[in-house]
A and B are shown apart, each in its own frame.
Chain A
């Protein structure tokens, strides 16, 4: 089986030829396998958004090739168009894309562009709204009357409704309060479980990435600095710190505990899990 997304030696320069030329991504080799949940993390300006804009051909690499299902995405217009529907890209602050009179119509924009039948579109709108947890009565409202969190969900639903093979989300939880953030993350994981689709998502937060991704790609100055499972990447605490990133607080605490000779696992990424271990430890000592 061919991989849904494969990047070969991809580099991208902004303002090419001007003195302000920026190499936003350099020499990226990357494969996204079917069914994976991949997290992309990196400091501000490390090229994450630039990288994912290559996945569906919005940006054309200055050097290198992007393959979608084994086909060069920029081969012809038709391939490019098909790839747009295969790879669903949801940008940072996607609520700025809302434009229709009603939420339902806005969610239907993507499926409508795919040329689906009306009944199929209606079905998909309903399904997508359910995935993101938008209440039915909101569907007939104007998208501009929704709250910030609801707008975000409506916008994500607009991409989900295309039912892409790979769903790519750029900081889906940015700018939301902790509860809204957790809900969005839960909703994405839920979507993945139910549809079995591939997920790529970008985040600043190590906690979020650890909770949701199976594989992590760490970007630094436009290059892939680290890549591997959550455990593998977090074991490089030092080099993450030099890139302006950090392992989750709770993981750091457990690493420090280990340094003091207390026998606890080092791969603890959530507070709940950490609390459970510590409780067990305390009971063990008492008992």
Chain B
């Protein structure tokens, strides 16, 4: 069912960004986040903003969804802004009142940091919007597979993560179902003090535990029946292949990095 795969962040679509190899997306996202911190002045940061806007446009994720991803960090954003404006001193004083003064450098730093955070959030949510959680863990497993040399059980860890992710929507559905059943019997889950509320959760929590354990046993049983013995010798149904669009993306990102370094070099640094 659709709602089994589309939970939390993933926003279904068929854009070039959606179709990119998850490994490449992972690496590039990481790389571009580093790039944000390489930026030293408004020109290089501007290039980063330009790149991010282009990436969002190509992914065809609606602006509404992008704004939604910024909402949770709004408080941090405002907080950083205020802190920087009042506590970073330097350059011309633009405004002064009693003990508070706002300087040129303070404003620049505040704006710069805020843009950085916004770009950071947008780039990372672009990854989760365009990649299903299963693809993400799959990509992670492959990227980390060299660690096998150090006897780290990459496959097991990735399988655990995949299963956990796979069961989040199932659990949410189950919780909803049980809550509804208890509400239909007049359970009041929303009012009262902390202790009363915690107590009111027992009728939800107990059946949830019971069904989760049952589900875990059933899953383990089903996996054993299908001869699952861990990662060794396992082949894959979905092969990941790097395609032309992945290399184009890589080239674009490298070009942006080169641009940032050049701009950093030619213009005075702000931060």
Residues of chain A having any CB pair with chain B under 8 Å: 14-15, 18-20, 53, 56, 58, 81, 84-85, 88-91, 94, 96-99, 109-110, 113-114, 144, 158-159, 162
Contact = CB atoms under 8 A, between A and B. Distances in A.
Interface string B174-189: 1001101111111110
A34 B187 CA distance: 26
A56 B184 contact: yes
B183 A20 contact: no
B203 interface: yes
A88 B188 CA distance: 15
Nearest to A90: B184
Interface string B206-249: 11001100000000000000000000000000000000000000
Contacts of B185: 84, 97, 109-110, 113, 158-159, 162
* Binding site secondary structure of chain B: helix
A84 B183 contact: yes
Nearest to A94: B181
Given A91-B177, A91-B181, A97 B188 contact: no
Nearest to A45: B1
A91 B186 contact: no
A14 to B, nearest CB: 8
A96 B181 contact: yes
7 A-B pairs with the lowest CB-CB distances in the bound complex, closest first: A113-B186, A97-B181, A110-B185, A99-B206, A89-B184, A99-B203, A58-B180
Interface of B: 2-3, 6, 11-13, 174, 177-178, 180-188, 202-203, 206-207, 210-211
Contact of B210 (A20, A85, A113, A144): A144
Nearest to A89: B184
Contacts of A109: 182, 185, 187, 203
B188 A96 contact: no
Nearest to A15: B3
Contact of B207 (A58, A84, A85, A97): A97
A98 B202 CA distance: 11
Contacts of A85: 186
A159 B181 CA distance: 10
A15 B1 CA distance: 13
A60 B177 CA distance: 15
Given A20-B3, A109-B182, A114-B186, 14 more contacts: A53-B180, A56-B184, A58-B180, A58-B184, A85-B186, A91-B180, A91-B184, A94-B181, A96-B207, A97-B182, A97-B203, A99-B202, A109-B203, A113-B185
Contact of A84 (B3, B11, B186): B186
Contacts of A94: 181
Contact of B211 (A53, A96, A113, A158): A96
Nearest to B206: A99
